[in-house]
């Protein structure tokens, strides 16, 4: 429900979504527009007396709330507040993941008038191994028309408002990837039509625009950069009633064309941007349509295509492809970028009124938003008041003075003050010398810290499988919000390791999940995850009883993790207590300081760490945790050593690969040279344990044996998973 009071806006120049009306009075009652009349008549009418707020809008233009027809919400409500600040009252997100998070964002945005409303395509439909599944292997994908209907029905069941498909062979990203062929794209578009959902195709070039038109999609998003779209394709789009969402603000930034970043010099924009968004706008390079620039890619071609489309009568929708977020430095920024998009549409030949239509009535029509996009009696009072005449000078839209969502006034000044008093901006994401992003939002990972990404990459992949052993929201968010960070492990450099490990990380994760469940059921109410990395158990396990989960890792990893989870990943009934400490320092002291009670039984999880410690450091760790272990405590350990790099298979693989391969990274970091039997080693530290081998776990879950640990193959390595109980009482603590 909107605000239960009446507002009257007098003397406005009104653009009602289609036409310009002069000196008009708009009456809003309980969230809806109830009258649009000449001001002189309104003043004399009965409603005049009931208005709780009367605004003299002389010298201003009143617009329908703006609709950005192409964004990515990036898992955070923050972006919807940013959008609303700039008068964007509805965003159409064209790819968000996972579905339950998207659903939550849409539901939340539907009810909160301090956020832009959200419509979403949910998960994008793409080719197997194509863009973006190549870097997000957990995404469902298609390798032919047969399953198109199922995919669209699944999207509909998940609550998608629009179907988005990718037609992109990765040419702008230095890759040659499979993409949906026209038969498959047509099957997706048909299924969307049957489901009553509009379909939008992401295109990369002239050829994929043709595929999109052949497929019969409702709308095409992006425009070619290598050449203008030939007139014959434009004519076809008109004849067949297609829409285009050119995303000029994104195409301009992607080409490195001057202009887009100038928004930062306009106080009307910059003055309302939080610091992270401002630094993304001035210096960010993430999330662009082109990551491998080429002289052939010319923004002038994008403008020319847009000009041709408009001149021929193809309806255009203003969309930005904004995909920044705190910690993700995309220079196309939610809310602000729409004002650049409007300006660029005018540069491409639209009049200011036509550009405004592209951000109001036209997207409302394309996306079936019949309650908005215009100012008319009965429609939502999503309104923007800007100073000046935006119907003749499009840049006047930047001078936002008031924003109402469902008749509720948004306090832009309070939002600005909140942003200004927040923590200082994080620097933009960085890259290691090999070109792999290892930093997000200023949290830069050390080499050993970045190994947490290897596990996250495979957990993200596992999370997308229909037969998954778990779903890991942290790993998925790393992939979605900071996908570049995973590149070393999920891209070609990690292929050898991925092949060798097979499903090992998933099997290991599930083994320890089940063990933790059992340990907590048996009475451990404290869990300590040593070298926690991007571990998501505090967020995703269905705990049998309330637990406190202590996560120990070094500052780089925990700061990185914080950037990923904040505002994106909710806890699952546990109390999570991060403990920043090196395991070679006084971590028991740090643990106690954070509330750990050595008198209570504890479940110790030692996963993915022993191999990074020397024998002496490993013994020190086991001795110290033993001293903190009350009777009935439990332990689970993954035990591997450098011997894994001495097998014939690994030696051959290392010799055959470049130094930049991630296998070499691991070889340089693994330090455990111990030859002691792991069971004996645990026994010496006071634990009675049993072991499981990866091959047994694989058989238990019907998965192939991880090739690196397949005892049937000659020259493979051994890694052991142990779980044990305390058999001695704690020593001096």
**Residue that has been written with the tokens 């071609």 in this structure:** 301
Of positions 148, 474, 583, 636, contacts ligand SAM by CB under 6 A = 583
Min CB(527)–ligand SAM separation in Å: 13
Least Å distance, CB 555 to ligand SAM, is 9
Q: Which is nearer to ligand SAM, 511 or 612 (CB)?
A: 612
Q: CA dist 208 to 203, 213, 216, 243, 448, Å? A: 5, 9, 12, 15, 42
Identified binder of ligand SAM from the candidate list 609, 636, 689, 722, rule CB under 6 A: 609
Residue 407 lies near ligand SAM (rule: CB under 6 A): no
Instruction: Tell me which of 89, 391, 451, 602 binds ligand SAM, using CB under 6 A.
Output: 451
Is 612 among the residues that bind ligand SAM (CB under 6 A)?
A: yes
Closest approach, Cβ 717 to ligand SAM, in A, equals 16
CB 74 within 8 A of CB 388: no
The stretch among 2-10, 30-38, 121-129, 608-616 that binds ligand SAM (CB under 6 A) is: 608-616
Cβ-based nearer residue to ligand SAM, 510 or 554: 554
Binding mask 206-235 for ligand SAM (x = CB under 6 A): ------------------------------
Question: Which residues does 83 contact at the CB level (< 8 Å), separation at least 6?
Answer: 68, 71, 89, 91, 115, 116, 322, 334, 335, 338
Q: Which helix (H) or strand (E) holds 212?
A: helix 206-215
Listed ranges 183-191, 447-455, 481-489, 627-635: which one lies at the site for ligand SAM (CB under 6 A): 447-455
For the record, the structure tokens of 388 come out as: 């000046």
Q: How far apart are CA 587 and CA 532, in angstroms?
A: 13
β-bridge mates for residue 118, sequence order: 91
Of 163-171, 384-392, 417-425, 576-584, the window that binds ligand SAM (rule: CB under 6 A) is 576-584
Q: How far is the CB of 645 from ligand SAM (least distance, A)?
A: 15
| Residue in 607, 618, 625, 723 binding ligand SAM, rule: CB under 6 A | 607
Closest residue to ligand SAM, Cβ-based?
Answer: 533
DSSP secondary structure letter of residue 445:
P
Identify which of residues 166 and 577 has a Cβ nearer to ligand SAM in the complex.
577
Shortest CB 572 distance to ligand SAM, Å: 17
Instruction: Count Cβ atoms below 10 Å from residue 266 Cβ, excluding itself.
Output: 15
Q: Which is nearer to ligand SAM, 355 or 557 (CB)?
A: 557
Q: Should residue 531 be labelled a site residue for ligand SAM when binding is judged by CB under 6 A?
A: yes
If one asks whether residue 448 binds ligand SAM (CB under 6 A), the answer comes out as: yes
Dihedral pair phi/psi, residue 221, rounded to 5°: -115, 140
Contact between 584 and ligand SAM per CB under 6 A: yes
**Closer CB to ligand SAM, 586 or 677, in the complex:** 586
Q: What are phi and psi of 464, to 5 degrees?
A: -90, -5
Q: Please identify which residue in 132, 326, 533, 640 interacts with ligand SAM, judged by CB under 6 A.
A: 533
On the 0-12 / 13-18 / 19+ scale of CB atoms within 10 A, 54 is middle
- For the bound state, the minimum distance from the C-beta of residue 578 to ligand SAM, rounded and expressed in Å, comes to 12
Tokens found for residue 636:
């689970």
How many residues sit close enough to ligand SAM to count as binding (CB under 6 A)?
A: 20
Nearer to ligand SAM, 264 or 455 (CB): 455
Asked if 554 interacts with ligand SAM (CB under 6 A), we say yes
C-alpha 487: how far from chain center: 15
- Decide if residue 537 touches ligand SAM (CB under 6 A): no
Pick from 138, 143, 212: nearest CA to 182: 212
**Per CB under 6 A, 553 contacts ligand SAM:** yes
User: What is the smallest separation between the CB atom of 532 and ligand SAM, expressed in angstroms?
Assistant: 6
Which one, 133 or 637, has the nearer CB to ligand SAM?
637
DSSP label of 543: -
Please report how close the Cβ of residue 528 comes to ligand SAM at its closest, in angstroms.
Answer: 12
Q: Which of these segments, 335-343, 386-394, 451-459, 718-726, binds ligand SAM (CB under 6 A)?
A: 451-459
Q: How far apart are CA 266 and CA 156, in angstroms?
A: 41
Using the Cα atoms of residue 30, residue 31, residue 34 and residue 39 in order, give the sign of their dihedral: positive
Q: What is the CA radius of gyration of the chain?
A: 28
> Given candidates 201, 302, 516, 532, which one binds ligand SAM under the rule CB under 6 A?
532
Q: Interior CA angle at 380 toward 375 and 383, to 5°?
A: 55
Residues ≥6 apart with Cβ < 8 Å to 82: 273, 274, 277, 333, 334, 335, 336
Provide, rounded to whole angstroms, the least separation between the CB of residue 166 and ligand SAM: 30
Residue indicated by tokens 């001035």: 282
Confirm or reject binding of residue 727 to ligand SAM (CB under 6 A). Answer: no
Site for ligand SAM in 461-490 (CB under 6 A): none
Q: Does 449 bind ligand SAM (CB under 6 A)?
A: yes
Which residue among 322, 415, 557, 603 contacts ligand SAM (CB under 6 A)? 557
* Distance of closest approach, residue 533 Cβ to ligand SAM, in angstroms: 3
Least distance in angstroms from the C-beta of 564 to ligand SAM: 13
Q: Closest distance between ligand SAM and the C-beta of residue 451, in Å? A: 4
End-to-end Cα, the chain, rounded Å: 59
According to the binding rule CB under 6 A, does residue 442 interact with ligand SAM? no
Q: Interface with ligand SAM includes 458 (CB under 6 A)?
A: no
Q: Is 722 in the site for ligand SAM (CB under 6 A)?
A: no
Which residue's CB is nearer to ligand SAM, number 73 or number 452?
Answer: 452
535 near ligand SAM, judged by CB under 6 A: yes
Contacts 24+ apart (CB under 8 A), 306-310: 306/223, 306/244, 306/246, 306/248, 306/344, 306/345, 306/348, 306/349, 307/348, 307/349, 308/228, 308/229, 308/231, 308/234, 309/223, 309/229, 309/234, 309/237, 309/244, 309/246, 310/348, 310/349, 310/350, 310/354
Q: Which is nearer to ligand SAM, 68 or 607 (CB)?
A: 607
Number of residues written out for the chain: 733
| Residue of 133, 250, 452, 479 that binds ligand SAM (CB under 6 A) | 452
Window contacting ligand SAM (CB under 6 A); options: 132-140, 294-302, 527-535, 624-632: 527-535
Q: Using the minimum distance from each CB to ligand SAM, give the nearer residue, 319 or 533.
A: 533
Distance CA 525, CA 576 (A): 12
- Give which of 520, 513, 510, 580 is closest to 551, Cα–Cα: 580
- Give the integer Cα–Cα distance in Å for 308 and 313: 9
Q: Any contact of residue 29 with ligand SAM (CB under 6 A)? A: no
Residues with Cβ within 8 Å of 49's Cβ and at least 6 positions away in sequence, in order, are none
Min separation Cβ 410 and ligand SAM, Å: 41
For position 618 contacting ligand SAM by CB under 6 A, the verdict is: no
Residue 24, classed as helix, strand or coil, is strand
Q: Does 362 bind ligand SAM (CB under 6 A)?
A: no
- Per DSSP, the three-state class of 192 is helix
On the CB side of 487, CA atoms within 13 Å amount to: 16
Query: What residues make contact with ligand SAM under the rule CB under 6 A?
Result: 448-449, 451-452, 455, 531-535, 553-554, 557, 582-584, 607-609, 612
């Amino acid at each position: 429900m909107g605000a239960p009071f009446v507002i009257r806006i007098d003397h406005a120049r009104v653009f009602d979504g289609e036409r310009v009306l002069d000196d008009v009075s708009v009456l809003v009652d309980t969230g809806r527009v109830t009258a649009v009349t000449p001001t002189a008549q309104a003043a004399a009418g009965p409603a005049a007396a009931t208005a709780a707020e009367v605004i003299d809008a002389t010298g201003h233009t009143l617009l329908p709330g703006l609709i950005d027809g192409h964004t990515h919400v990036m898992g955070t409500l923050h972006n919807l507040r940013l959008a609303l600040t700039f008068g964007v009252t509805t965003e159409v997100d064209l790819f968000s993941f996972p579905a339950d998070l998207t659903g939550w964002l849409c539901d939340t945005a539907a009810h909160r008038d301090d956020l832009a409303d959200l419509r979403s395509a949910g998960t994008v439909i793409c080719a197997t191994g194509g863009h973006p599944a190549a870097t997000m292997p957990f995404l469902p994908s298609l390798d032919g028309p047969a399953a198109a209907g199922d995919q669209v029905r699944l999207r509909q069941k998940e609550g998608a408002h629009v179907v988005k498909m990718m037609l992109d062979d990765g040419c702008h990203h230095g890759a040659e990837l499979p993409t949906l062929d026209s038969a498959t794209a047509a099957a997706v578009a048909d299924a969307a039509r049957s489901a009553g959902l509009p379909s939008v195709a992401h295109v990369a070039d002239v050829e994929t625009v043709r595929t999109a038109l052949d497929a019969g999609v409702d709308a095409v998003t992006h425009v070619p950069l290598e050449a203008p779209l030939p007139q014959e394709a434009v004519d076809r789009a008109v004849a067949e009633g297609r829409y285009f969402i050119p995303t000029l603000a994104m195409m301009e930034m992607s080409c490195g064309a001057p202009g887009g970043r100038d928004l930062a010099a306009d106080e009307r924009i910059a003055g309302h941007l939080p610091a992270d968004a401002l630094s993304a706008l001035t210096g960010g390079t993430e999330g662009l349509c082109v990551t491998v620039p080429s002289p052939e890619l010319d923004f002038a071609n994008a403008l020319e295509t847009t000009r041709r489309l408009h001149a021929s009568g193809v309806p255009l929708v203003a969309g930005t492809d904004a995909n920044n977020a705190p910690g993700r430095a995309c220079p196309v920024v939610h809310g602000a970028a729409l004002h650049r998009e409007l300006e660029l549409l005018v540069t491409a030949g639209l009049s200011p009124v036509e550009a405004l239509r592209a951000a109001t009535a036209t997207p409302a029509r394309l996306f079936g938003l019949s309650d908005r996009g215009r100012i008319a009696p009965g429609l939502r009072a999503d309104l923007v008041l800007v100073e000046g005449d935006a119907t003749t000078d499009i840049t006047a839209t930047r001078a936002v003075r008031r924003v109402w969502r469902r008749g509720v006034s948004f306090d832009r000044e309070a939002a600005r003050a909140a942003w200004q008093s927040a923590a200082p901006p994080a620097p933009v994401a960085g890259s290691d010398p090999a070109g792999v992003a290892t930093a997000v939002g200023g949290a830069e990972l050390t080499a050993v810290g970045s190994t947490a990404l290897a596990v996250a990459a495979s957990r993200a992949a596992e999370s997308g499988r229909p037969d998954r052993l778990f779903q890991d929201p942290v790993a998925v968010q790393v992939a979605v919000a900071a996908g570049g960070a995973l590149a070393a492990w999920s891209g070609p450099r990690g292929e050898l390791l991925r092949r060798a490990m097979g499903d090992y990380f998933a099997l290991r994760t599930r083994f320890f999940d089940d063990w933790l469940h059992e340990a907590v059921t048996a009475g451990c109410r404290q869990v300590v995850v040593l070298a926690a990395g991007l571990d998501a158990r505090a967020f995703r396990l269905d705990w049998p009883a309330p637990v406190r989960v202590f996560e120990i890792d070094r500052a780089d990893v925990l700061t990185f993790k914080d950037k990923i989870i904040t505002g994106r990943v909710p806890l699952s009934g546990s109390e999570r207590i991060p403990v920043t400490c090196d395991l070679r320092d006084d971590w028991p002291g740090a643990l106690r300081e954070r509330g750990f009670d050595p008198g209570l039984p504890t479940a110790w999880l030692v996963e993915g760490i022993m191999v990074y410690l020397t024998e002496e450091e490993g013994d020190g760790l086991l001795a110290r945790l033993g001293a903190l272990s009350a009777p009935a405590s439990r332990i689970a350990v993954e035990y591997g050593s450098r011997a894994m790099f001495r097998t014939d298979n690994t030696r051959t693989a290392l010799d055959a690969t470049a130094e930049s391969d991630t296998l070499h990274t691991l070889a340089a970091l693994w330090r455990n040279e111990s030859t002691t039997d792991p069971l004996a080693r645990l026994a010496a530290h006071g634990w009675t344990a049993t072991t499981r081998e990866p091959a047994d776990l694989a058989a238990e879950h019907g998965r192939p044996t991880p090739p690196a640990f397949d005892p049937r193959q000659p020259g493979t390595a051994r890694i052991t998973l142990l779980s044990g109980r305390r058999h001695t009482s704690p020593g001096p603590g």
